Amino acid sequence: MPEILEVEMARALIEERALGRPVASVYAPDAWFLKRGLTAAAARRALRGRTFVAARRRGKLLLVDTDDDGPTLGLHLGMSGRVLIDDHAAGDPLLYASNRDAPEWRRFGVRFADGGSMYLRDPRRLGAVELDPDEGRLGVDAFAVTRAQLRDMLRPSRAPVKAVLMDQARIAGLGNLLTDEALWRAGIDPARAANTLDDDVARLHRAILTTLRVLGRRGGSHTGDHMPSRFAGAHCPRDGAPLERRTVAGRTTFSCPVHQR
């Protein structure tokens, strides 16, 4: 499932290949995929003749700005979405459930005047497209979070620390895998109440940034040291203890009862 690292790869692909190419037509066959009142006709009116000038990201939300203060195209990759530009995709193709390119999986796209294209392909159809998304509903981007910001969001909450880390309105971009990896690296129990972290906040902050940097370099959120142990009966790669499998913050969670406290 795309987390912040996969979305960042898609953002970089758009930046590298889609900017500066005038949009000739808009392909929006799936009304359900258009969100917050957007219609195919409105998307056409808003984007036709425009040029993409910047590709940004906040958490897992992709933001593509258009020229002359035109609208910003917001793309959500959902559970299985990938961006295809001139039929190139970012990220490791082996990880995706299917790399077939069934035409009906192309939920939204544009054709450029030069004959190329940008599509959002999404077999599971849980992504979305909107115009001028409300970026303020998302918290600070996980790549940019400071230790003080992390402390301020954890201190008042009695929720499990994992729930706070996955709350996109507080810190944007961390999904289930990255959160479990960061907590495993930091030696913090995912179910521990956020307001008890105190002196452990600095270690958690470092672990989040290290996780993003290292896994980003390796190629995605599935490349963590903790990742191969996400199955029943697995042992902790650090100390060999049997891992605990629980539901925390509504998500399947693997953690080590020995070194994660």
Stretch that binds Zn ion, among 119-127, 149-157, 219-227, 232-240 (CB under 5 A): 232-240
Q: How far is the CB of 159 from Zn ion (least distance, A)?
A: 23
Pairwise CA distance, residues 63 & 73, whole Å = 6
DSSP E strands in the chain: the ranges are 23-27, 52-58, 61-66, 72-76, 82-85, 88-89, 106-112, 117-121, 128-131, 140-141, 171-172, 244-248, 251-255
Active-site entry in 50, 60, 82, 107: 60
Pairwise CA distance, residues 9 & 2, whole Å = 10
Q: How far is the CB of 171 from Zn ion (least distance, A)?
A: 24
Question: Quick check: 133 and 164 in contact, CB under 8 A?
Answer: no
β-pairing verdict for 140-141 and 171-172: parallel
- Which of 236, 253, 254, 255 is close enough to bind Zn ion by CB under 5 A? 236
199 makes contact with Zn ion (CB under 5 A) = no
Active-site entry in 2, 71, 133, 190: 2
- Three-class secondary structure assignment of 87-149: CEECCCHHHCCCCCCCHHHEEEEEEECCCCEEEEECCCCCCEEEECCCHHHCCEECCCCCHHH
Establish whether 251 is a catalytic residue. yes
Active-site entry in 3, 6, 130, 181: 3
Stretch that binds Zn ion, among 36-44, 147-155, 171-179, 248-256 (CB under 5 A): 248-256
Question: Quick check: 186 and 255 in contact, CB under 8 A?
Answer: no
Pairwise CA distance, residues 199 & 172, whole Å = 23
Establish whether 16 is a catalytic residue. no
245 makes contact with Zn ion (CB under 5 A) = no
Question: Quick check: 166 and 174 in contact, CB under 8 A?
Answer: yes
User: Which CB, 115 or 233, lies closer to Zn ion?
Assistant: 233
3-state secondary structure of 32: helix
256 makes contact with Zn ion (CB under 5 A) = yes
Q: How far is the CB of 257 from Zn ion (least distance, A)?
A: 8
Q: How far is the CB of 186 from Zn ion (least distance, A)?
A: 12
194 makes contact with Zn ion (CB under 5 A) = no
Considering only residues 22 through 81, tell me which ones interact with Zn ion, judged by CB under 5 A: none
User: Which CB, 55 or 256, lies closer to Zn ion?
Assistant: 256
238 makes contact with Zn ion (CB under 5 A) = yes
Tell me the catalytic residues.
2-3, 60, 251
Q: Which residues bind Zn ion (CB under 5 A)?
A: 236, 238-239, 241, 256, 258-259
